[in-house]
């Protein structure tokens, strides 16, 4: 078994990928309001800043910054996943269960990366915002409705036509280039 090591840095900024167990599912976008409520609820319980986020059909990417005296991002994800799962159950959405009876909605683990500096932060924000284009869901970043990209445009951080059209060339938005 892989020995996972988490970097628990109080007040840290972290990039996350959180994925549904069924990669063919569209539950996150089909029930995006329930997911948004789960995020709000978790933030009221244990504050954190959502620096950037994109919600795709079967996974999401986010950058969170924790309070200066707090490093418990795992507890926050546990709350978000739990609130979303409970809300789905309340809507009578049929969810699969594992052999032990636990819900099989989410993958058990998530990917976490500690943001190291401003350049690392910028690359991960770009990766988040470009992800719907990368997955072929839209041609332009601005066309995906479930993204903090729209807040970045409203705040004047990026122009609405940032990254152009998917057919106009490829960009390296936070991914490793091989070769």
| pLDDT at residue 25, as a whole number | 96
Within a domain: residue 175?
no
- State residue 7's pLDDT score: 83
pTM of the model: 0.89
Give alpha helix (H) positions in 138-179: 149-154
CA distance 132 to 56: 7
Question: Quick check: 15 and 115 in contact, CB under 8 A?
Answer: yes
pLDDT recorded at residue 178: 42
CA distance linking residue 152 with residue 50, whole number of Å: 12
Q: Residue 173 is encoded by which pair of tokens?
A: 């938005």
174 lies in some domain: no
Q: Considering the domain boundaries, does residue 149 fall inside one?
A: yes
Q: Identify which of 148, 160, 149, 153 has the alpha carbon closest to the alpha carbon of residue 49.
A: 148
In a domain, 22, yes or no: yes
177 domain-assigned:
no
Structural domain contains residue 179: no
Give pLDDT tens digits along the chain (179 positions). 556 677 889 999 999 999 999 999 999 999 999 999 999 999 999 999 999 999 999 999 999 999 999 999 999 999 999 999 999 999 999 999 999 988 999 998 899 999 999 999 999 999 999 999 999 999 999 999 999 999 999 999 999 999 998 755 445 555 544 44
Evaluate whether 63 touches 124 at the Cβ level (below 8 Å). Answer: yes
Q: Which of 149, 107, 156 is nearest to 132 (CA)?
A: 149
Query: What CATH number is given to the structural domain containing 93?
Result: 3.30.70.1290
Instruction: Tell me what pLDDT residue 177 has.
Output: 40
Q: Domain count for the chain, please give it.
A: 1
- Give catalytic residues, as residue numbers: 146
The answer to whether the Cα torsion of 152, 154, 159, 165 is positive or negative is: positive
* Residue 5 covered by a domain: no
Q: Which domain holds residue 149?
A: 13-164
């Amino acid at each position: 078994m892989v020995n996972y090591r988490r970097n628990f840095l109080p007040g840290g900024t972290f990039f996350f990928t959180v994925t549904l167990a069924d990669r063919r599912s569209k539950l996150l976008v089909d029930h995006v309001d329930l997911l948004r409520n789960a995020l709000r609820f978790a933030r009221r319980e244990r504050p954190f800043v959502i620096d950037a986020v994109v919600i795709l059909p079967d996974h999401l990417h986010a950058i969170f910054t924790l309070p200066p005296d707090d490093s418990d991002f795992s507890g926050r994800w546990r709350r978000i996943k739990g609130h979303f799962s409970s809300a789905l159950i309340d809507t009578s959405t049929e969810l699969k269960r594992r052999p032990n009876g636990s819900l099989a909605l989410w993958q058990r683990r998530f990917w976490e990366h500690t943001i190291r500096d401003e350049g690392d932060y910028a690359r991960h924000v770009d990766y988040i915002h470009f992800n719907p284009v990368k997955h072929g869901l839209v041609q332009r970043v601005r066309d995906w409705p479930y993204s903090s990209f729209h807040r970045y445009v409203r705040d004047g951080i990026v122009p609405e036509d940032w990254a152009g059209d998917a057919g106009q060339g490829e960009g390296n938005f936070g991914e490793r280039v091989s070769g």
